[in-house]
Amino acid sequence: MAASSACLVGNGLSTCSTKPSLSKDFYGRHLLLPSSLPSLGKVSKAVFLRASLDQRQHEGRRGFLKLLLGNAGLGVPALLGSGNAYADEQGVSSSRMSYSRFLEYLDKDRVKKVDLFENGTIAIVEALSPELGNRVQRVRVQLPGLSQELLQKFREKNIDFAAHNAQEDSGSLLFNLIGNLAFPLILIGGLFLLSRRSSGGMGGPGGPGFPLAFGQSKAKFQMEPNTGVTFDDVAGVDEAKQDFMEVVEFLKKPERFTAVGARIPKGVLLVGPPGTGKTLLAKAIAGEAGVPFFSISGSEFVEMFVGVGASRVRDLFKKAKENAPCIVFVDEIDAVGRQRGTGIGGGNDEREQTLNQLLTEMDGFEGNTGIIVIAATNRADILDSALLRPGRFDRQVSVDVPDIRGRTEILKVHGGNKKFDGDVSLDVIAMRTPGFSGADLANLLNEAAILAGRRGKTAISSKEIDDSIDRIVAGMEGTVMTDGKSKSLVAYHEVGHAICGTLTPGHDPVQKVTLIPRGQARGLTWFIPTDDPTLISKQQLFARIVGGLGGRAAEEVIFGENEVTTGAAGDLQQITGLAKQMVTTFGMSEIGPWSLMESSAQSADVIMRMMARNSMSERLAEDIDTAVKRLSDSAYEIALRHIRNNREAMDKIVEVLLEKETMTGDEFRAILSEFVEIPVENRVTPSVPSPVAV
């Protein structure tokens, strides 16, 4: 049974009453005078009574809160841990008083009030301090123990005193509770407000303003797609465009196909290098099909929270089924469709869970009738085999780099809104840009238009086209060299490339030789193929090695073996790689028609190359090195012979090049043919157009 005391204090008089109670463990309170400032030493009795009544009501509310938290199991730790701090919360100042001085103040009737804590070992004393002009001062006194003599003295002196136990620390409990919950509540409230602000105030569970709405799909939905792109804007990929036109026709006139038992493909996978028009094809089919269109990137499925990706996949296909028939386009699907079993997390990896959900939605137990999934990737070799099977992706459409006819068609599409001079030929541009994708060709014409505007021209000329090609392939134009020796060395180096390439049967013709630096190159020699190099012969590959070594051969013959420079570093790297490919990949050496390189070692994935098993013996590796060296040595001997036998022609060409700094292929062949006969297979007829000289 606990006992509660109530004391009313006023004008130095006190009345204390004590009564037994069974239910006052949480509700019973000592009504204490709140901490007073030193300047408030004398107050009226009405003020004390009002403060006591207000505090009684306030402590009643705090007692209910404490009871509620105690039932929840939260109040006990705070009660146990905050008893020691309660004395300090009663307004204890930093000043202390010794026990002997306290007894002296007690004898001189200067003590007005005493609060006892911790079993009577600590006292908070309100006393009149003569040093402060007899103003009330609160001090802390360490007592040796609570004796009956000391209590009797308090009664004799008519001093207001009270004892406090550990259960009277509801203020500490409340403060501790607020301190522990303040930061989480502020954080949650801030996130909620930010989410509402970002969504324009539209909240609600699961809505766009709800903080936990990240499990919903982020796909962009268009009931009537208006991409501004049609099949007329797509060129150079006729085969892929034909496949998509069939899908569009199936959506518009399904009876033509269902009459013969055909069903619409469930999925179409676009595979090809970057910039070849995969996303452009998706935009075209969205503009032509006339059905609802969902578009999303593969990376938008994956989040740091496990299960979010799978939830977004479910939400995407749920919306798609509600709007069937429709098209779902997933760009860069390799971000989520990578082969399973290679992740660090194994089967619990978030990406693999997302992929499993995607496989189920595309072709699972329930099916997805009326949903056509179109995906694009340039990493088809790393996609999971379960994703590529028919039933999920019925068609795999290859969107490769366009040939010369495709490049011409692409240039016509992108050049429709541009003005050209009469000397510009799109066929010549297409011939000069082998290996360019659709994005590269669009960038080429845009760079040419920017150059024409910078130079104050009203139309794009061949000079802007030529400079744009050089800038895209080789880099920005640098400052022309003024040092006579370095300029002469670079001129002989570049002319050496041109002569060795032109005099070696099977080499591509020279398009331009220039001494204008671009990127890290001090000079450049351009070769262009007469047609698309879909198939390259052994003679052509060997001729490229000879032409690549022509610059080093020219430096050695003209300036001496000790004067060769580092300018041939890039050439040596290229011809070494080409010779190694001839031996290990193409089987064009005396070792025989072997493929000495595993497919995984040639993969674009770095991890796959690192895990590739070395299947060749040490003897075979030595034979490969010997064959590569033999190819390089024989090609270098031919290059040295070309340079030595045509020294007079080289000097003449270098003299013209140093004067003009840029020489076209026709000018080069005209001078060279005066001294030596060019092989028949390397001759260029005058009917072939050539770009304007820089």
Please answer whether residues 418 and 436 qualify as being in contact, where contact means their C-beta atoms are separated by less than 8 angstroms. Answer: no
Q: Which two tokens stand for residue 657?
A: 């090049």
State the chain's mean pLDDT as an integer. Answer: 77
What is the predicted pLDDT for the residue at 9? 34
pLDDT greater at residue 94 or residue 583: 583
Q: In the 8-state DSSP scheme, what is residue 163?
A: E
What mean pLDDT is predicted for residues 432-448?
A: 91
The CATH class that applies to domain 213-398 reads alpha beta
Q: Give yes or no for a contact between 414 and 288, defined as CB atoms under 8 angstroms apart.
A: no
* Per-residue confidence (pLDDT) for residue 48, from 0 to 100: 34
Task: Give yes or no for residue 548 having a pLDDT over 80.
Answer: yes
- Report the 10 Å Cβ neighbour count for 132: 11
Catalytic residues: 494
Better pLDDT: 688 or 592: 592
Q: What is the second-level CATH architecture of the domain 484-682?
A: Up-down Bundle (1.20)
Percent of the chain topping pLDDT 90: 22
Stronger pLDDT, 46 or 547, i.e. the higher one: 547
Whole-structure pTM over 0.85, yes or no? no
The side-by-side arrangement of strands in the sheet containing 111-117 is: 96-97, 135-142, 122-129, 111-117, 160-163
CA distance 591 to 359: 46
Residue 159 sits at φ, ψ, to 5 deg, of -100, 135
Residue 11 to residues 49, 50, 229, 419, 423, Cα–Cα distance (Å): 11, 14, 92, 102, 111
Distance between CA atoms of residues 203 and 216, nearest Å: 14
How far is Cα 175 from Cα 415, in angstroms, rounded to an integer? 73
Q: What's the pLDDT at 245?
A: 86
Q: What is the CATH number of domain 2-168?
A: 3.30.720.210
pLDDT beyond 70 at 61: no
Q: What does the alpha-carbon distance between residue 106 and residue 31 come to, in Å, rounded to a whole number?
A: 24
For 34: left if phi > 0, alpha if psi spans -120 to 50, otherwise beta; the answer is: beta
DSSP element (H, E) containing 576: helix 569-584
What span, in angstroms and rounded, lies between the C-alpha atoms of 410 and 236? Answer: 6
The mean pLDDT value for 371-377 works out to 91
Query: pLDDT tens, 564-573?
Result: 999 899 999 9
User: What does residue 355 show for φ and ψ, rounded to 5 degrees?
Assistant: -65, -40
| Mean pLDDT (whole number) for 64-84 | 40
Rounded mean pLDDT, 548-561: 94
pLDDT of 89 above 60: no
Q: Counting beta carbons within 10 angstroms of the beta carbon of residue 175, is it exposed (0 to 12), middle (13 to 18) or buried (19 or more)?
A: middle
625: pLDDT confidence band, cut at 50, 70 and 90? very high
* Nearest by Cα to 527 from 547, 557, 541: 547
- 606 pLDDT above the threshold of 80: no
User: Torsions phi, psi of 216, nearest 5?
Assistant: -85, 155
Band (343; pLDDT cuts 50, 70, 90): low
Which position has the token pair 């209910």?
64
* DSSP-assigned beta bridge partners for residue 261: none
pLDDT tens column, 510-527: 989 999 888 888 889 988
Mean pLDDT of 113-132: 83
pLDDT category, 173, cuts 50, 70, 90?
low
Tokens of 474: 């080789």
Find residue 13's DSSP bridge partners. Answer: 10
pLDDT higher than threshold 60 for residue 456: yes
Give the model's pLDDT for residue 377: 92
Residues 6-29: tens digit of each pLDDT: 333 333 333 333 333 333 333 333
Tokens of 354: 């997302």
Helices vs. strands in the chain: H and E counts, helices first:
24, 16
Sorted by where each begins, the domain ranges of the chain are 2-168, 213-398, 404-474, 484-682
Query: For residues 548 and 508, is the Cβ–Cβ distance under 8 A?
Result: no
Rounded CA-CA distance 190/418 in Å is 52
404-474 CATH pick, 1.20.1250.20, 1.10.10.10, 3.20.20.70, 1.10.8.60: 1.10.8.60
**Assigned token pair, 123:** 């006292």
| pLDDT at residue 5 greater than cutoff 60 | no
In the structure encoding, which two tokens stand for residue 656, read together? Answer: 């013209």
Report pLDDT for 79. Answer: 37
